[in-house]
Amino acid sequence: MANYDFKVFDEKVGAAQEWLAKEYRGLRTGRAAPAILDGISVSAYGSMTPLKQVGNVGVEDARTLRVSAYDAGLIKDIERAISAANLGVGTSSDGASVRVTFPELTSERREQMVKLAKQKLEEARTTVRVARDEAWKEIQQREKDGTLTEDDKFSLKEELQKKVDAGNEELEKAFESKEKEMSS
């Protein structure tokens, strides 16, 4: 069989899977997940600093996170930054740390979250489709240039489709896992 390197295609599919996983970590499910605070920056020492650099985020119970500041003087700034992020969570501080509480998801909010998760899945699938189309065009071009035979082209097309199916299956698993997490 002809030699065709699917490296670029595989990288694009891998990137789509990583992107989807990152997006899903940020979707609130009613359960305390430290990853939801990953994108928060705190005004500290005259600049915006990622929360992870000014405090430690730990899970207290199923619906509560505790953020312990490395510098107690930043507690109010941390609380302000979390509140300003509009994550739909409650915050309170006891002077030494900030508690972040996650309210129960209403069925309406849960439906919205599942819908959003589906949109993210579709965006990731689109990336896979675009990568497939690019690889297929390149394979067809190589046949026209005479570096691939027609038989090679069709075996590569089959291999490409297997890779697309495997990539989409991984994306689907990520969605199903997130959907299950949101409904429990």
CATH assignment of the domain containing 140: 1.10.132.20
pLDDT digit string, tens, across residues 40-59: 888 888 888 888 888 888 88
Looking at residue 104, what DSSP letter applies? P
Domain that holds residue 160: 7-25+106-183
Predicted pLDDT of residue 107: 82
Of 101, 121, 155, at which residue does a domain stop?
A: 101
Is 163 within the bounds of a domain? yes
Rounded-to-integer distance, Cα 81 and Cα 50, Å: 10
Domain count, the chain: 2
Of 101, 126, 143, at which residue does a domain stop?
A: 101
What would the two tokens of residue 82 be?
């979390």
Question: For 128-134, which contacts have Cβ atoms below 8 Å and span 24 or more sequence positions?
Answer: 128/12, 128/13, 128/16, 128/164, 128/167, 128/168, 128/171, 129/164, 130/12, 131/8, 131/9, 131/12, 131/13, 131/16, 132/9, 132/160, 132/164, 134/8, 134/9
Is 2 within the bounds of a domain? no
Predicted pLDDT of residue 2: 58
Predicted pLDDT of residue 140: 93
Of 77, 101, 125, at which residue does a domain stop?
A: 101
Rounded-to-integer distance, Cα 82 and Cα 40, Å: 7
Is 52 within the bounds of a domain? yes
Q: Are residues 160 and 121 in the same domain?
A: yes
Residues of the chain with pLDDT under 50: 1
Q: Are residues 63 and 42 in the same domain?
A: yes
| CB of 33 closer than 8 Å to CB of 183 | no
Q: Are residues 170 and 120 in the same domain?
A: yes
